[in-house]
Amino acid sequence: MREKLKALAELQKVDMEIGALRKSAEVYPKQIAELEKELAASREAVEAERARLLELERQKAALEQNIADEKEKVKKWESRLSEQRSTREYAALAREIDIAKKATAAQAEELSEVARQLAVQREALKAKEQEHSARGDQVGGKVAELKKKAAETEAEIRGIGERRTKAASAVDPALARRYETVRKKRMPALVPVLPPGTCQGCNMNLRPQLYNTLRSTLGTDVCPSCHRIIYASEALEGPAAK
């Protein structure tokens, strides 16, 4: 029975090693996702600056068009001044021309301010693009490193998988089936019972009769509390049976 128990303990040792590796590998996808999220936020910041630039360019184009339209209108009105038949009509048209010129001047000042903002915005966009590019290089390097570590871990797990296949082949079939059933729910699935009869899986004390049976037979049973496979610690730690 001791050899069967040793074989199962060896299988569990391999499974615990695989489990630890898988646990450590869980962090890689999360870290990659965080880095990609950070890069996406940086990209959105660039797009926001670009949208601001496009809006200013739209405003500039609209002002330029308005100014051109107003100047053309003033030009036409000025050409018609000499055609006015009365002083009243002349004064009315002259007043419209004056209003249009003032509006054009105001729009010219606004255009000057928009042009200034455009220059500032172009620099802001350039800075954001450079920042995003640098961040992209950093993130790309970190992501590549994390993917490499993840691949190395998976390769290591596959290598251990070959050891597991060999270890599993040495386990008693009935014991292996019980182990697999427990392993799907909790690990470790195989735990010792230490004096005075405490299950090392759930720390519950066994009935004295069950503990004495484990010690006398050096076999296995199931913990009534956590349902793990249990054995008396001396079954593996004691001297080999003659």
What per-residue confidence (pLDDT) applies to 162? 87
CA distance 151 to 168: 25
Please indicate, yes or no, if residue 76 is contained in any of the structural domains: yes
Domain count, the chain: 2
Judged against a pLDDT cut of 90, whether residue 167 lies above it is answered with yes
Report d(CA 88, CA 95) in Å as an integer: 11
Q: What is the pLDDT of residue 237?
A: 73
**Domain end (from 123, 145, 169):** 169
Would you say residue 95 lies in a domain?
yes
Strand pairing partners for 191? 230
pLDDT at res. 2: 83
How far is 230 from 241, CA to CA, in rounded Å?
19
Q: What are phi and psi of 33, to 5 degrees?
A: -60, -40
Say if residue 52 is in the same domain as residue 89.
yes
Q: What is the pLDDT of residues 184-230, one digit of tens each?
A: 999 999 999 999 999 999 999 999 999 999 999 998 999 999 999 99
Phi-psi region of 78 (alpha: psi -120 to 50; beta: other; left: phi over 0): alpha
Give the pLDDT score at 242.
35
Q: Looking at the domain assignment, is residue 104 inside a domain?
A: yes
- Confidence category of residue 152, pLDDT binned at 50, 70, 90: very high
User: Is 136 found in the same domain as 67?
Assistant: yes
Residue 242 within any structural domain of the chain: no
Pair (190, 125) in one structural domain: no
Q: Look at residue 119 and tell me if it is in a domain.
A: yes
pTM for the whole structure: 0.64
For the cut 70, the answer to whether the pLDDT of residue 4 exceeds it is yes
CA distance 160 to 22: 12
Rounded Cα distance, 219 and 5, in Å: 8
Sheet (strand 220-222) strand order:
198-199, 190-194, 229-232, 220-222
**CB-count exposure of residue 115 (10 Å: 0-12, 13-18, 19+):** middle
| 240 pLDDT higher than 60 | no
Regarding whether 96 and 39 lie in a shared domain, the answer is yes
Q: What is the pLDDT of residue 238?
A: 56
Which pLDDT score is estimated for 140?
93
The two structure tokens encoding residue 157: 């797990």
For residue 24, what are the domain limits? 2-169
Which structure tokens are listed for 227? 């349902």
Q: What is the pLDDT of residues 42-95, one digit of tens each?
A: 999 999 999 999 999 999 999 999 999 999 999 999 888 888 888 898 999 899
Supply the CATH number for residue 109's domain. Answer: 1.10.287.1490
Q: What is the pLDDT of residue 241?
A: 40
Same domain, 111 and 152: yes
